[in-house]
């Protein structure tokens, strides 16, 4: 066996290129896998580190109007905004006997001073003083990274007196901050884990294709081995061993690449922020397991690849004729589509688990169905091309694809799945993002307006005066408490004077001196307006809310917000409708979209490499035939066209199939499950990712095509 291995592996210029291809593919796959696995683990680390800021909502918190537990701090958690970003502010006070220490800071800040995260300090430093001002008081120090979920975390810990904090709405006593995280990143973890495992397939495909190329270039060597008695199994073992060893080198290189690119990968925002580079580190155990899985997968893929090459003892690769793909291949795709449609359309009448089963199962079956139907479509599409071709290049390329639809499709099958999934997600996400876009609609709060509740004891005249003095503020109006018992209206309703309804965004004023809204969703409504309801004058009480109309610029909005917060205190949380509605959902969708686009880009790039290697293999495999065409007088440019055509037809054809299927599936799901959302075009980034990946793939193929001239030179090809 040692002799077989030496004979099979040594010698020839290609003996360097082939292992390099495997090393490159495995290293890339391993690096991406480790980074993705790191992200899965890091999401948990991050949730755990940031969990303490939510202790005030946890089950251990005691409402501030009850008896203080021993050693507890008084904490109020609220939000403010600056430059469109949401800032978490924890107002803390240490009542007598408070013992609890907060992570990341040296001590509880004195009233009027605050600790800030590094990102918040940078944001404050970047804003003009009057836009942020000293909303939080005097800077006392930096919150350490060990207490931050992410380097982007905008967090302030502000000192207050026990009296002021206790008076804030939703303030609570917190006796412990070591609470479990809410694991909000679960969905991300599942998506990334699926993506990480999915990476094995394009890498495996790459290895199989590289192996096939190696078999083609070493055909005489393997034929000799077969001739002297080596069995196909022994040849497969030799090649698998070669792949095992080279993949091991690639895997180790991949571990190094992952370490090098970790700081860069850490900058990708997920679930509300980027990562600390150390968060993405993967322990020795999982790394060794991943290396083991990768090298075993490489050995199996190469053994399959060499068997497919069909080496015979006579020195020629057997022509393994593919069976003509049959019509039944459309059935899984149609069944998957039908399952999704049924689950989505009749979801209301079915059990929830059944609906998820139909949709998820249908989705998986559709993805599988695309792979199954691919060769059938490739066969018919190439047949059409071959019949209609008016040039030798078109005829030869179309006929070649028609003869090997399975092998042709296989080189781009990884791409099909990636593009399908990303299209489904991106189309659905595009619809959701469009649907949450806040528009100016009659009967909803205008987009340039700030709204906040204020404590009833606030000196509203002073607040209005100060706010009106801010340049760019056009109007300030005050809402008043409504006595629910006297009016029969819903508790918490706010009454507004009839002339102020124009400022509130209504084109017509109510037919009463005071009126309120028919819905509590006034602030969050996006496309539907609320109606007005008259409030008896006798039920109208003290000012409890304020609306500020501005010129709509971010700086005016932030200046007005600063003035209100300084005048009212931490009970005020002035927000615009855009900030209240859009930020969280849009950010989440954009982050998921970013992951999807990165995934699409990487998949297309890996598929492009596979395609390029498959193209190289096809050129070397047919160098005599292509050389003969040159001998017959075909210019090299025609040969380029043939091979380019053979690569481009499946690539572009399957992209079309994946995009169409993905769009259709997204349409079915969204139209039936959320009819109010209109499915539109995916985001521009989707097209950028597709175009970049496609360009990279075509450049790889183009580079391979450049070798045709050398491989088919008529003087160096033997025809006799």
Interhelix angle for 331-345 vs 636-673, to 10°? 30
Instruction: Find the Cα–Cα–Cα–Cα dihedral 418, 423, 426, 430, rounded to 10°.
Output: 180
Q: In which element (H, E) is residue 451 found? A: strand 449-453
Q: Is 638 in the site for another protein (CB under 8 A)?
A: yes
Out of 41, 83, 175, 395, name the contact with another protein by CB under 8 A: 395
Residues 550-609 that bind another protein (CB under 8 A): none
Out of 18, 81, 402, 577, name the contact with another protein by CB under 8 A: 402
Q: Is 400 in the site for another protein (CB under 8 A)?
A: yes
Alpha carbon distance 212, 485 (integer Å): 82
Structure tokens at 710: 């050398």
- As beta bridge partners, residue 62 has 173
Q: Look at strands 113-116 and 494-497 and give their pairing.
A: unpaired
Residue closer to another protein (CB basis): 395 or 648: 395
Minimum distance of another protein from residue 232's CB (angstroms): 22
Stretch that binds another protein, among 111-119, 206-214, 249-257, 395-403 (CB under 8 A): 395-403
- Report helix, strand or coil for 101: coil
Residues 655-714 that bind another protein (CB under 8 A): 714
The answer to whether the CB of 224 falls within 8 A of the CB of 10 is no
Q: Is 625 in the site for another protein (CB under 8 A)?
A: yes
Minimum distance of another protein from residue 697's CB (angstroms): 24
Q: Is 190 in the site for another protein (CB under 8 A)?
A: no
Residue closer to another protein (CB basis): 635 or 706: 635
- Report helix, strand or coil for 88: strand
The answer to whether the CB of 668 falls within 8 A of the CB of 419 is no
Minimum distance of another protein from residue 644's CB (angstroms): 17
Q: Is 631 in the site for another protein (CB under 8 A)?
A: yes
Letters for 261-300 (x = contact with another protein by CB under 8 A, - = none) are ----------------------------------------
Residue closer to another protein (CB basis): 477 or 629: 629
Task: Convert 587-614 to b/e letters by CB count within 10 Å (16 or more is b).
Answer: bbbebbbbbbbbbbbbbbbbbbbbbbbb
Task: Convert 502-513 to b/e letters by CB count within 10 Å (16 or more is b).
Answer: ebbbbeeebebe
Residue closer to another protein (CB basis): 144 or 315: 315
Minimum distance of another protein from residue 13's CB (angstroms): 16
Minimum distance of another protein from residue 390's CB (angstroms): 5
Minimum distance of another protein from residue 655's CB (angstroms): 24
Q: Is 628 in the site for another protein (CB under 8 A)?
A: yes
Residue closer to another protein (CB basis): 512 or 628: 628
Q: Is 715 in the site for another protein (CB under 8 A)?
A: yes
Residue closer to another protein (CB basis): 59 or 719: 719
The answer to whether the CB of 423 falls within 8 A of the CB of 682 is yes
Residue closer to another protein (CB basis): 285 or 390: 390
Q: Is 719 in the site for another protein (CB under 8 A)?
A: yes
Closest CA to 444 of 502, 504, 496: 504
Residue closer to another protein (CB basis): 67 or 632: 632
For 88, list phi and psi in degrees, rounded to 5.
Answer: -90, 130
Alpha carbon distance 362, 599 (integer Å): 22
Residue closer to another protein (CB basis): 129 or 633: 633
Q: Is 634 in the site for another protein (CB under 8 A)?
A: yes
Residue closer to another protein (CB basis): 121 or 707: 707
Minimum distance of another protein from residue 248's CB (angstroms): 38
Q: Is 720 in the site for another protein (CB under 8 A)?
A: yes
Minimum distance of another protein from residue 373's CB (angstroms): 22
- Chain centre to alpha carbon of residue 121: 28
Out of 129, 180, 633, 675, name the contact with another protein by CB under 8 A: 633
Alpha carbon distance 367, 351 (integer Å): 24
Alpha carbon distance 175, 154 (integer Å): 24
Minimum distance of another protein from residue 282's CB (angstroms): 47
Out of 125, 348, 632, 684, name the contact with another protein by CB under 8 A: 632
Out of 391, 508, 524, 527, name the contact with another protein by CB under 8 A: 391
Stretch that binds another protein, among 93-101, 385-393, 504-512, 610-618 (CB under 8 A): 385-393
Q: What is the size of the binding site for another protein (CB under 8 A)?
A: 28
Minimum distance of another protein from residue 634's CB (angstroms): 5
Letters for 525-554 (x = contact with another protein by CB under 8 A, - = none) are ------------------------------
The answer to whether the CB of 266 falls within 8 A of the CB of 279 is yes
- Report helix, strand or coil for 60: coil
Closest CA to 535 of 577, 488, 492, 475: 488
Tokens 């040296």 belong to 106
Stretch that binds another protein, among 71-79, 110-118, 204-212, 384-392 (CB under 8 A): 384-392
Residue closer to another protein (CB basis): 380 or 638: 638
The answer to whether the CB of 182 falls within 8 A of the CB of 54 is yes
The answer to whether the CB of 18 falls within 8 A of the CB of 217 is yes
- Report helix, strand or coil for 452: strand
Minimum distance of another protein from residue 388's CB (angstroms): 8
Out of 635, 656, 680, 706, name the contact with another protein by CB under 8 A: 635
- Report helix, strand or coil for 496: strand
CA angle 81, 585, 83 (to 5 degrees): 25
Q: Is 348 in the site for another protein (CB under 8 A)?
A: no
Residue 53 has what DSSP assignment? G
Alpha carbon distance 395, 642 (integer Å): 9
Cα–Cα distance list, 196 to 185, 262, 273 (Å): 16, 16, 20
- Chain centre to alpha carbon of residue 324: 39
Alpha carbon distance 401, 413 (integer Å): 15
Q: Is 392 in the site for another protein (CB under 8 A)?
A: yes
Minimum distance of another protein from residue 631's CB (angstroms): 6
Q: Is 629 in the site for another protein (CB under 8 A)?
A: yes
Tokens 């299927």 belong to 661
Q: Is 623 in the site for another protein (CB under 8 A)?
A: no
Minimum distance of another protein from residue 400's CB (angstroms): 5
Residue closer to another protein (CB basis): 486 or 714: 714
Minimum distance of another protein from residue 23's CB (angstroms): 33
Residue closer to another protein (CB basis): 219 or 580: 219
Residues 312-331 that bind another protein (CB under 8 A): 319, 321
Structure tokens at 329: 């291949």
Stretch that binds another protein, among 99-107, 203-211, 497-505, 621-629 (CB under 8 A): 621-629
Structure tokens at 114: 């605050």
Q: Is 260 in the site for another protein (CB under 8 A)?
A: no
**What string of DSSP letters covers 505-545?**
T-SS--SSSEEEES-GGGTT-SS-PPPEEE--GGGEEEEEE
Stretch that binds another protein, among 46-54, 271-279, 437-445, 633-641 (CB under 8 A): 633-641
Alpha carbon distance 474, 550 (integer Å): 5
Bin 345: left if φ > 0, else alpha if -120 < ψ < 50, else beta: alpha
Residues 6+ positions from 552 with CB-CB distance below 8 Å: 447, 448
| Residues found near another protein in the complex (CB under 8 A) | 319, 321, 389-392, 395-396, 399-400, 402-404, 624-625, 628-635, 638, 714-715, 719-720
């Amino acid at each position: 066996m040692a002799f077989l291995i030496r004979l099979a592996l040594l010698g020839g210029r290609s003996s360097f290129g082939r292992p390099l291809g495997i090393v490159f593919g495995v290293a890339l796959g391993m690096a991406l896998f480790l980074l993705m696995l790191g992200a899965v683990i890091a999401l948990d680390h991050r949730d755990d580190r940031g969990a303490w800021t939510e202790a005030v909502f946890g089950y251990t918190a005691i409402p501030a109007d009850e008896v203080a537990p021993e050693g507890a701090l008084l904490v109020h958690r609220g939000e403010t905004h600056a430059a469109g970003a949401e800032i978490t502010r924890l107002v803390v006070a240490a009542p007598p006997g408070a013992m609890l220490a907060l992570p990341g800071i040296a001590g509880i800040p004195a009233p009027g001073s605050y600790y800030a995260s590094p990102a918040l300090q940078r944001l404050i430093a970047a804003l003009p003083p009057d836009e942020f001002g000293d909303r939080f008081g005097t800077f006392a120090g930096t919150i350490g990274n060990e207490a931050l979920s992410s380097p982007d975390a905008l967090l302030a810990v502000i000192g207050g007196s026990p009296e002021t904090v206790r008076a804030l709405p939703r303030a609570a006593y917190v006796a412990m901050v070591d609470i479990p995280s809410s694991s909000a990143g679960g969905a991300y973890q599942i998506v990334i884990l699926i993506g990480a495992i999915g990476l094995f397939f394009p890498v495996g495909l790459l290895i199989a294709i590289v192996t096939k190329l190696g078999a083609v270039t070493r055909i005489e060597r393997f034929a000799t081995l077969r001739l002297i008695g080596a069995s196909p199994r022994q040849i497969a073992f030799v090649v698998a061993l070669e792949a095992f060893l080279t993949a091991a080198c690639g895997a180790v290189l991949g571990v190094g690449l992952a370490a090098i690119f970790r700081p860069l990968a850490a900058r990708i925002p997920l679930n509300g922020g980027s990562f600390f580079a150390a968060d993405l580190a993967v322990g020795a155990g999982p790394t060794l397991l991943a290396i083991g899985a990768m090298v075993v997968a490489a050995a199996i893929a190469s053994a399959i690849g060499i068997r497919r090459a069909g080496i015979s003892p006579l020195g020629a690769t057997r022509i393994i004729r593919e069976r003509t793909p049959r019509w039944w291949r459309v059935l899984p795709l149609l069944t998957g589509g039908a399952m999704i449609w049924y689950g989505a359309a009749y979801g209301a009448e079915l059990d929830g688990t059944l609906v998820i089963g139909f949709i998820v199962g249908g989705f998986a079956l559709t993805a599988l169905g695309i792979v199954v139907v691919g060769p059938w479509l490739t066969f018919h599409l190439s047949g059409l091309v071959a019949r209609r071709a008016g040039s030798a290049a078109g005829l030869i390329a179309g006929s070649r694809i028609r003869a090997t639809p399975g092998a042709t499709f296989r080189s781009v099958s990884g791409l099909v799945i990636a593009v399908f999934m990303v299209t489904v997600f991106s189309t659905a996400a595009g619809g959701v993002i469009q649907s949450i876009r806040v528009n100016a609609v009659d009967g909803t709060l205008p987009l340039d307006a700030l709204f906040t509740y204020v404590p009833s004891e606030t000196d509203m005249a002073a607040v209005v005066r100060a706010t009106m003095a801010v340049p760019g503020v056009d109007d300030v109006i005050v809402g008043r408490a409504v006595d629910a018992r006297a009016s029969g209206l819903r508790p918490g309703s706010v009454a507004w004077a009839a002339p102020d309804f124009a400022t509130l965004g209504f084109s017509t004023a109510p037919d009463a001196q005071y009126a309120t809204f028919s819905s509590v969703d006034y602030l969050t409504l996006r496309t539907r307006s609320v109606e007005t309801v008259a409030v008896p004058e006798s039920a109208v009480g003290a000012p409890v809310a304020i609306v500020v109309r501005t010129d709509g610029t971010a700086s005016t909005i932030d200046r007005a917000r600063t003035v209100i917060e300084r005048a009212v205190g931490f009970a005020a949380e002035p927000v615009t409708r855009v900030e209240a509605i859009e930020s969280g959902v849009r950010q989440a969708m954009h982050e998921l979209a970013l992951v999807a686009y990165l995934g699409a880009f990487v998949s297309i790039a890996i598929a492009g490499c596979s395609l390029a290697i498959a193209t190289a293999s096809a050129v070397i495999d047919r160098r005599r035939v292509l050389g003969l065409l040159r001998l017959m007088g075909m210019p090299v440019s025609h040969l380029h066209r043939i091979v380019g055509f053979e690569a481009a037809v499946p690539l572009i054809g399957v992209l079309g199939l994946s995009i169409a299927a993905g769009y259709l599936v997204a349409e079915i799901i969204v139209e039936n499950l959320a009819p109010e959302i209109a499915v539109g075009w995916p985001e521009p980034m989707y097209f950028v990712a597709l175009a970049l990946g496609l360009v990279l793939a075509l450049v790889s193929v183009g580079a391979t095509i450049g070798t045709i001239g050398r491989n088919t030179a008529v003087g160096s090809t033997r025809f006799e």
